[in-house]
Amino acid sequence: MRLKGVRPMNRVLGLFLLVAAMAGIPGTGSAQQTVFFTEPFDGTWNSWYDGTGGSIDTVVYSPNGGSSSARFHWNQGSTGEPGGARRHKFTASETVYMSFDLKLGTASTPWQGSQLAYHPHIIYLLTDANADYAGLAWDYLTFYVEWTLFTPRLAIQDGQRINLSQLTSSYPGLLGSTTAHAVAGGNGPQDQATPTGAGYYSIGAPNYANGTNWDSTSANLRNNTWHRVEVYVAMNSISGGVPQANGIIRFWVDGVLAVERTNVYLRTAQFAVQKFNQFILGPYIGNGSPIAQDMWIDNLIVADQRSASQTSVPPPANLRVQ
């Protein structure tokens, strides 16, 4: 059977996604999708608050619909555009699915990212455990969607939850216990067979920051090309006051699964009802951009899960170099 829109090399993946959609497996393609908000970036920013970073570009935009996009520009040496991060609230949810069209760099100015093993930070999800204007990174949970040059990355930080009385780099540390602890490092790293980076570091007594990354094994993105990016994240469950290692993270590029983990800790017993409720666009290169460069995002959807119609891999004709 030839699945519509699925290239021959992806038939197995396409068949799995179709079966999962029919079965209603969360995050793979249940038909019962609830859309929290959409943003086509067609002429304005709708219901965003806090900062004013990014601009509406009516010249460069996705071929998948609309007449403009959101452009983010770095001058050489700058951390990002003046104006800061833009935030958008949505209905608090234990699961979040997001999709958007993405273009990195141009033919004349190829995308360089940070040229480091960390950054740029691009998209953040915060939870209802923090306030509407809570700081990023050092809080009760920041979930990141980003890429190191062209390699997809998902990451977390929850430095505000670190138990300072039991700092450790040993696995499992406090993970999976009823004792108050962080899940992104500081109180034990998540299983080192799973993340590609985890740790903690002092940011001035008595506080510590932490972080855990999950990277794709290949560079799934390309320069000067429109890609369709999709991400799904689901909180882990709590049973009998004990956090369970069953949180889910997934990252697709043009319908191909680039990152997947189904054994992630995202919340603890002390935050058993913690839900995502804040979406943030805040492209940021902490050490300053190595060159003047640009990135575009278009046709943003934020929902609770992937819909059945979103399980089809877009055909190559839907992607073009601009």
pLDDT digits (tens, 9 = 90+) for 50-71: 999 999 999 999 999 999 999 9
pLDDT at 260: 97
Whether 317 is covered by a domain: the verdict is: no
**Residue given tokens 């009998």 in the structure block:** 240
pLDDT 10s digits, 268-313: 999 999 999 999 999 999 999 999 999 999 999 999 999 987 765 4
pLDDT score at 321: 39
Q: Which residue has the higher pLDDT, 8 or 250?
A: 250
Q: Using a pLDDT cut of 90, give the percent of the chain over it.
A: 80
4: pLDDT confidence band, cut at 50, 70 and 90? Answer: very low
In a domain, 243, yes or no: yes
Closest of 82, 120, 153, 55 to residue 288, by C-alpha: 120
Round to whole Å and give the CA distance between 20 and 28: 6
The answer to whether the beta carbons of residues 150 and 104 sit under 8 Å apart is yes
Q: What is the CATH number for 231?
A: 2.60.120.200
Tell me: the pLDDT tens digits for 14-24?
333 333 443 44
| Secondary structure class of 165 (helix, strand, coil) | helix
Inside any domain, residue 41: yes
Q: Which domain holds residue 166?
A: 36-307
Q: Is residue 215 part of a domain?
A: yes
Question: Can you tell me which residue has the tokens 């799995």?
Answer: 16
Of the two residues 114 and 19, the one the predictor is more confident about is 114
Nearest to 139 by CA among 285, 233, 280, 289: 280
Residue 267 lies in a domain: yes
Both tokens of residue 215? 């990277």
Number of domains in the chain: 1
**Mean pLDDT, to the nearest integer, of 81-104?**
97
Domain assignment present for residue 23? The answer is no
pLDDT score at 56: 97
Which helix or strand (DSSP H or E) is residue 20 part of?
helix 11-23
* pLDDT, tens only, 25-39: 456 665 589 999 999
**pTM passes above 0.75:** yes
Examine residue 184 and state whether it is found in any structural domain, yes or no: yes
As a whole number, the mean pLDDT across the chain is 89
- Statement: residue 204 has pLDDT above 90: yes
Q: Using pLDDT thresholds of 50, 70 and 90, give the confidence band for residue 6.
A: very low
Give 200's strand partners.
210
Left if phi > 0, otherwise alpha if psi is -120 to 50, otherwise beta: which for 63?
A: alpha
Position of tokens 């141009």?
106
Split at pLDDT 50, 70, 90, the class of 264 is: very high
Select from 208, 203, 80 the least CA-distant residue to 146: 80
- 239: Cβ–Cβ under 8 A, 6 or more apart, which residues? none
Q: Does residue 2 belong to any structural domain of this protein?
A: no
Look at residue 159 and give its three-state secondary structure. helix
Q: Which two tokens stand for residue 310?
A: 């979103």
